[in-house]
Amino acid sequence: MATQEETFKKLVSHCKEYGFVFPSSEIYDGLGAVYDYGQNGVELKNNIKRYWWDFMTRLHDNIVGIDAAIFMHPTVWKASGHVDAFNDPLIDNKDSKKRYRADVLIEDQLAKIEEKINKEVEKAAKRFGDSFDETMFRQTNPRVLEHQQHFDALHERYKKAMNDNDLNELKQIILDEEIACPISGTRNWTDVRQFNLMFQTEMGSTADGAMKIYLRPETAQGIFVNYLNVQKTGRMKLPFGIAQIGKAFRNEIVARQFVFRMREFEQMEMQFFIKPGTEMDWFKYWKTQRLAWHKALGLGDNKYRFHDHEKLAHYANAATDIEFEMPFGFKEVEGIHSRTNFDLSQHAKFSGKKIEYFDPETSESYTPYVIETSIGVDRMFLSILCGSYEEQPLEGGDSRVVLHLPAVLAPVKCCVMPLVRKDGLPEKAQEILNSLRFDVKTTYDEKDSIGKRYRRQDAIGTPFCVTVDHDTLVDNTVTVRFRDDMHQERVHINDLRDMILKAVDMSHLLRSLAE
Ligand code: GAP
């Protein structure tokens, strides 16, 4: 059986082979942690965005959308704290000249210790069979206890160093733990330095007159600076939300795991403006709402969990992540943050404008608090693919790769195929395609055997294949083949549209969330 790591590698190649994701500028050997979405990838990504957008702006009467520019006045980033505090601690190995995130090196070390514990447990479970008591073993086995003590002490020390922003201590931990560079194998490290993750560029034509500006590292600030515009022009009453989907850019030091950590990525963020003092109720509300949104896709409830933040960002008074079980462990896909009134207050201070809300019920003015939900489109995309990818053995020694994508998100909903390329079957198939194209993304395929054509559609997650044969010309019925269990049904062409729409129409999914 393939390990999780091998499966992930196969998934990455699959994404390229089937037009989901390509390395950026590949003919020039690519650009680190930047990717392009192909013909199927863009459809899947657009469907994810549509699902999020409609959930936010249609199911919630008090949420509206905006589309702010990527370039913003540079003072925005001073006010938000990003110029001074949007940093990662980096360290270089002097021999390999490779750069690492100091916190990631230590987290990897913690993961290694955890792995040692798990290996001991696995070995013992095999040795003792059914009589194995895991809890007892973890509490009493001397080797496990030794590793656990090491883990706890290191974790505590690391947490404190991060909270105190103590860069010397981070380096000392790396030295004490004897962490070596994976490339050179040496422990010849530089000091740990802070590295700002924002990309900079210049706006203006002359070098003297040019203004230094940043590529936004989050879309949220575009919402904060438009709070007054939207509130006034939309006559919005608290609580209300502003949603936005757009690109964000971070000069990540360690960019890895494919589209999980990119330098150019896309976010779907919603800032929910509320009355101060109500934030914990709304925080709870949005945790429930967002988890339900994820689970409704049907990839398995056990694949999601919350992870509360130990170290809160400078602006937050509560924060949690929704994590998805990727092949490389449970990883953050979405963050839900109670951001207090930090951002609006900072923008009021730096711009000199009054950014408040006049509450008609209490006749008082105040700066609203904010609950933010922030999800990466690319991470969501990856989680969907990881949760859908299967290498499935079939009867007779054959096998197939199938993407069990949620039907509403699948790039192609239906592929129409004439059994043979003659006798008027292609024309009939085109006729059916033309009747479906207005409702769902439908394609046509007449090359190779039917079996091969089915495999191609399985590989991109098409839920329905429709085969036109000679009987179709007589009685207007077709064979519908279902992706997941591969069963086939004879269906009248007049019933096709409704049958497909029932499974792929987003409104059914949204309705289930509103119930
Ligand atoms: N406005 C809050 C904010 O930006 P964040 O936790 O830094 O919070 C939110 O980012 C989400 O954006 C993450 O949960 C993740 O899905 C996505 N994200 C962040 N950095 C990313 C990167 N380098 N590549 C891909 N997605 C990223």
> What residue ranges do the domains of the chain occupy?
1-86+197-397, 88-193, 412-514
On the question of pLDDT at 437 being above 90, the answer is yes
Share of the chain above pLDDT 90, in %: 90
- Other Cβ atoms within 10 Å of 501 Cβ, number: 15
Please tell me the distance between residue 218's alpha carbon and the centre of ligand 1 in angstroms. Answer: 8
On the question of pLDDT at 265 being above 80, the answer is yes
Gap between the Cα atoms of 457 and 483, Å rounded:
8
Shortest-distance Cα residue to atom 9 of ligand 1: 374
pLDDT range class, residue 24, cuts 50, 70, 90: very high
Pick the CATH number of 88-193 from 3.30.40.230, 3.30.365.10, 3.10.20.740, 3.30.1360.30: 3.30.40.230
Query: Across the strands, what pairs with 228?
Result: none
Question: What confidence score (pLDDT) does residue 1 get?
Answer: 61
Question: What's the token pair of residue 82?
Answer: 């990003």
Ligand 1 and 374: CB distance under 6 A? yes
Digit-coded pLDDT (tens) for 155-208: 999 999 988 889 999 999 999 999 999 999 999 999 999 999 999 999 987 666
> Which CATH number is 412-514 given?
3.40.50.800
Ligand 1 and 333: CB distance under 6 A? yes
Question: What confidence score (pLDDT) does residue 307 get?
Answer: 94
- For a ligand 1 pocket test, name from 251, 270, 372, 374 the mutation site with the most ligand atoms within 8 angstroms of its C-beta: 374
DSSP state of 486: -
- For a ligand 1 pocket test, name from 76, 253, 265 the mutation site with the most ligand atoms within 8 angstroms of its C-beta: 265
- Average pLDDT, rounded, for the chain: 95
Ligand 1 and 335: CB distance under 6 A? yes
Gap between the Cα atoms of 382 and 395, Å rounded:
30
On the question of pLDDT at 397 being above 90, the answer is no
Count helices and strands in the chain by DSSP H and E runs: 18, 23
Shortest-distance Cα residue to atom 14 of ligand 1: 334
Question: What confidence score (pLDDT) does residue 312 get?
Answer: 79
- Smallest Cα–Cα separation from 99: which of 31, 8, 235, 191? 191
Question: What confidence score (pLDDT) does residue 503 get?
Answer: 95
Do residues 115 and 5 make contact, with C-beta atoms less than 8 angstroms apart? Answer: no
Do residues 408 and 386 make contact, with C-beta atoms less than 8 angstroms apart? Answer: no
pLDDT range class, residue 395, cuts 50, 70, 90: confident
Question: What confidence score (pLDDT) does residue 29 get?
Answer: 93
What's the whole-number mean pLDDT along residues 291-312? 93
Question: What confidence score (pLDDT) does residue 207 get?
Answer: 65
Sign of CA dihedral 340, 65, 77, 23: positive
On the question of pLDDT at 240 being above 80, the answer is yes
What's the whole-number mean pLDDT along residues 214-243? 98
Q: What percent of the residues of the chain are helix, what percent strand, and what percent coil, each to the nearest 5? A: 45, 25, 30
Q: What is the 3-state secondary structure (H, E, C) of 351-376?
A: HCCCCCEEECCCCEEECCEEEEEEEE
Share of the chain above pLDDT 70, in %: 99
pLDDT range class, residue 256, cuts 50, 70, 90: confident
The bridge status of strand 99-101 relative to strand 87-92 is: antiparallel
- Smallest Cα–Cα separation from 15: which of 209, 302, 344, 257? 257
Which amino acid is residue 116, in one-letter code? K
Q: Which ligand 1 atom sits closest to the C-alpha of 376?
A: 16
What's the whole-number mean pLDDT along residues 117-121? 92
What's the whole-number mean pLDDT along residues 41-61? 97
The bridge status of strand 464-468 relative to strand 477-482 is: antiparallel
Question: What confidence score (pLDDT) does residue 255 get?
Answer: 73
Do residues 180 and 40 make contact, with C-beta atoms less than 8 angstroms apart? Answer: no
Question: What's the token pair of residue 411?
Answer: 């790039």
Range of weakest confidence among 84-88, 220-224, 230-234, 483-487: 84-88
Which amino acid is residue 410, in one-letter code? A
Q: Which CATH architecture is the domain 1-86+197-397 placed in?
A: 2-Layer Sandwich (3.30)
Question: What confidence score (pLDDT) does residue 6 get?
Answer: 87
Residue-wise burial string across 351-375, b where 16 or more C-beta atoms lie within 10 A, e elsewhere: eeeebbbeeeeeeeeebbbbbbbbb
Question: What confidence score (pLDDT) does residue 254 get?
Answer: 77
Gap between the Cα atoms of 271 and 242, Å rounded:
5
Range of weakest confidence among 132-136, 149-153, 237-241, 378-382: 132-136
On the question of pLDDT at 209 being above 90, the answer is no
Ligand 1 and 386: CB distance under 6 A? no
Shortest-distance Cα residue to atom 25 of ligand 1: 261
Digit-coded pLDDT (tens) for 338-353: 999 999 999 999 999 9
Which amino acid is residue 214, in one-letter code? Y
Radius of gyration of the chain, Cα coordinates, nearest whole angstrom: 27
Question: What confidence score (pLDDT) does residue 4 get?
Answer: 79
Q: Which ligand 1 atom sits closest to the C-alpha of 250?
A: 23
Which amino acid is residue 321, in one-letter code? D
Question: What confidence score (pLDDT) does residue 119 get?
Answer: 92
Ligand 1 and 252: CB distance under 6 A? yes
User: Strands across the sheet with 99-101, in order?
Assistant: 99-101, 87-92, 193-196
Do residues 232 and 273 make contact, with C-beta atoms less than 8 angstroms apart? Answer: no
- Other Cβ atoms within 10 Å of 348 Cβ, number: 17
Q: What is the 3-state secondary structure (H, E, C) of 291-340?
A: HHHHHCCCCCHHHEEEEECCCCCCCCCEEEEEEEEECCEEEEEEEEEECC
Shortest-distance Cα residue to atom 12 of ligand 1: 376
